[in-house]
């Protein structure tokens, strides 16, 4: 099964800059082999992959109006709503200023969609070529990883694991997946969601409200946001989530995952126990996730180490990929590293002998400098007196037993 290694090959890393030779996907981790950053940290040119991924997510759900089948291969493609706004710019020769939003709420009223966008933080508005467009792209990768829904994007699943994953995906599409609906407060009924209708995929599109669809006599200011509890303002749009029931509504900027607190990308949410989740954190609440490959675990056997879950085959050194079962390892930035790689790339260097310090031996650390805790290394730089258990003076990595020795060395 392919993990899509050709996608984005050679793309520069936005985080590491010139330190990264270009994106090269690790053969089973979801990171770059060169800089260890995720795919979302690289400037990978836009392609149809994200639209294919979201299209597959909406397949066999009530949101089929948001996808189209490709004639070439029959695969579903996400028909995201792109909004282009134009306004004349005063000039000698009148020109047109155009703003393109790479995604906008799928509503017929463009004024409502425009208001929705203006209520988002500017740095999160998906205007083409902007910081907001990059933010959306990054959140698509983080919140809706392809390997959470498509077995073909996973590393060497057994037939039984594929079966369990397909059942899991079918279940969350039926019970939790939804797309937010933008409306003015009071334009929808307030009935609780009809669970049978939702589970059976009743209705099409994103605006099939459950309950009585009569306009409420209440003013917008009488509605409060489910997230921040503040009142809505007259004329401002709200976001509704059908699975939550139309008695709940959110400010556009408050429609966030309860775990990562990020805006739910393209208003795609998962509803569970009174909370909104992004795809990643909903799945994390249901299944263990391997800290090595980032995939959900569907096998009966896996290991728990350092407070994280791992496929047995993926509890490996972060540097050389050797399996760590039964051997010494050291955690470096929350990643396990074998002793050999630790000594080679991560160990502290002794100021006395200038050799790497074994993680299993005692050392002394002072002002970001390190020494072996031995008579041969932790000693006065002038008279070589052992300083273990003694008072000392430190200056630029050198140690002195007295002011006299320091002055003598400095002169």
Tell me the pLDDT tens digit for each residue of 194-245: 555 555 444 434 444 333 444 555 776 789 999 999 999 989 999 999 999 9
Mean pLDDT of the chain: 89
Cβ-proximal residues to 163 (8 Å cutoff; 6+ apart), any chain? none
Cβ-proximal residues to 108 (8 Å cutoff; 6+ apart), any chain? none
Q: Please name the residue ranges forming H helices in 218-295.
A: 279-286
Q: Counting beta carbons within 10 angstroms of the beta carbon of residue 218, is it exposed (0 to 12), middle (13 to 18) or buried (19 or more)?
A: exposed
Sign of CA dihedral 44, 47, 53, 55: positive
Q: What is the DSSP letter of 64?
A: G
For residues 391 and 400, give the distance between their C-alpha atoms in angstroms, rounded to a whole number.
Answer: 9
Q: What are phi and psi of 304, to 5 degrees?
A: -115, 120
pLDDT of residue 318: 96
Which of 62-76, 82-96, 122-136, 323-337 bottoms out in mean pLDDT, i.e. has the lowest? 82-96
Q: What is the DSSP letter of 122?
A: G
The whole-model pTM stands at 0.84
Q: Token pair of 36, please?
A: 């260890």
Question: What is the average pLDDT across 383-390?
Answer: 94
Q: Token pair of 84, please?
A: 């282009």
Question: What is the average pLDDT across 345-363?
Answer: 95
Task: Output the CA–CA distances (angstroms, integers) from residue 143 to 54, 232, 295, in the order listed.
Answer: 11, 27, 13
Sign of CA dihedral 152, 156, 159, 161: negative
Q: Token pair of 98, please?
A: 């155009």
Q: Which residue has the tokens 């009585």?
A: 212
pLDDT of residue 208: 40
């Amino acid at each position: 099964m392919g993990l899509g290694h050709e996608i984005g090959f050679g793309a520069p890393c936005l985080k590491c800059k010139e330190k990264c030779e270009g994106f090269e996907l690790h053969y089973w981790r979801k990171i770059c082999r060169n800089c260890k950053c995720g795919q979302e940290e690289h400037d990978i040119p836009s392609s149809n992959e994200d639209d294919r991924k979201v299209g597959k997510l909406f397949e066999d759900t009530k949101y089929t109006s948001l996808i189209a089948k490709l004639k070439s291969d029959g695969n579903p493609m996400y028909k995201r709503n792109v909004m282009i706004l134009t306004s004349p710019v005063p000039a000698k020769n009148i020109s047109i200023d155009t703003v393109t939003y790479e995604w906008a709420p799928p509503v017929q009223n463009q004024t409502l969609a425009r208001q929705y966008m203006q209520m988002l933080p500017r740095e999160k508005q998906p205007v083409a070529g902007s910081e907001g467009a990059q933010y959306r792209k990054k959140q698509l990768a983080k919140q809706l990883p392809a390997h959470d829904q498509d077995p073909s994007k996973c590393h060497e699943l057994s037939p039984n694991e594929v079966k369990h994953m397909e059942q899991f995906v079918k279940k969350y599409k039926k019970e939790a997946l939804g797309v937010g609906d933008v409306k003015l407060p009071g334009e929808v009924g307030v009935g609780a969601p009809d669970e049978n209708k939702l589970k059976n995929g009743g209705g099409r599109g994103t605006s099939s409200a459950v309950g009585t669809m009569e306009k409420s006599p209440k003013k917008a200011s009488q509605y409060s946001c489910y997230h921040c509890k503040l009142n809505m303002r007259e004329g401002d749009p709200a976001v509704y989530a059908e699975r939550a029931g139309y008695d709940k509504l959110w400010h556009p900027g408050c429609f966030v995952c309860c775990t990562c607190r990020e805006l739910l990308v393209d208003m795609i949410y998962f509803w569970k126990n009174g909370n909104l989740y992004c795809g990643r954190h909903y799945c994390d609440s249901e299944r263990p996730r391997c800290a090595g490959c980032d995939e959900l675990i569907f096998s009966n056997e896996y290991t728990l180490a350092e407070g994280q879950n791992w496929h047995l085959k993926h509890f490996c050194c972060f540097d050389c990929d050797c399996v760590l079962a039964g051997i010494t390892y050291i955690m470096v930035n929350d990643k396990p590293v074998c002793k050999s790689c630790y000594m080679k790339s991560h160990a502290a260097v002794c100021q006395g002998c200038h050799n790497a310090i074994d993680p299993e031996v005692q050392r002394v650390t002072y002002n970001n400098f390190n020494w072996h805790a031995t008579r041969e290394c932790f000693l006065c730089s002038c008279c070589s007196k052992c300083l273990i258990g003694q008072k000392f003076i430190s200056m630029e990595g050198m140690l002195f037993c007295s002011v006299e020795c320091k002055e003598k060395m400095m002169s």
